[in-house]
Amino acid sequence: MRYRLGIRAAALALGAALALPAAASFAATSYTATDKDTFWTLSKKFGVPLQKLISFNPNVDAKNIYAGLKLSIPAPAAANAAAKSAQPAAASPSAKLVKTTSGDKLPYATAIQMKATAYSASLEENAWGPVDYFGNPLKLGTIAVDPKVIPLGTKVYITGYSFDGLPAGGMYAVATDAGSAIKGNRIDIFVPGTRDKVSKFGYQYVNLYVLK
């Protein structure tokens, strides 16, 4: 039997703006933050030393950068980044691609060998019913992961398994489930069918590609 982890939700305030003083002797440009921004990612994006970026935003809590927040980005780094973003993006010659069964080539960030098991919609395996971590009905393409290794919501492509209850050659999946027995480089793949049939999957080592 697998045990679900508790669901956590984080509330984000939207649309707030701060009046920021200009840093002495340095020009700056205004930037509107998104939910995914941090001082660290912005320092990389604009090519600005982290401490300088922080010094330009003395009234900003580094742990509370949210969508709509107005930040000051030191120039001329901001201007250089803007100029680069205006140029057409060139395909990286070193981009990592995984070929799907349909012939598509998907860019991926990381490839990990995982020890895989399979589970069914049986109540014996799902204490809270045949639903995933988010309460959605279990379906082909659902996998349970250790969120410390594969964040929930991550889209992946899986190859290397052998089981007639799954698409031959490879399958798309989304990490929308978790369980107390799924730790480290482990995944549990939902397979439609009876518990007895699904149990025949056993333990298999698969290749998991974290898609971009």
Model pLDDT, residue 97 = 95
DSSP letter for each residue of 7-49: P-------S-----PPPTT--EEEEE--TT--HHHHHHHHT--
pLDDT, mean of residues 10-27: 41
User: 37 versus 15: which is more confidently predicted?
Assistant: 37
Cβ neighbors of 57 (< 8 A, separation 6 or more) are 20, 39, 71, 72
Entry pTM: 0.57
Give the tens place of pLDDT for each residue, 174-197.
Answer: 999 999 899 999 999 999 999 999
The Cα–Cα gap between 134 and 65 comes to 26
pLDDT tens digits for range 104-153: 999 999 999 999 999 999 999 998 899 999 999 999 999 999 999 999 99
Tell me, what DSSP letter sits at residue 86?
H
Domains of the chain: 28-86 (3.10.350.10), 97-211 (2.40.40.10)
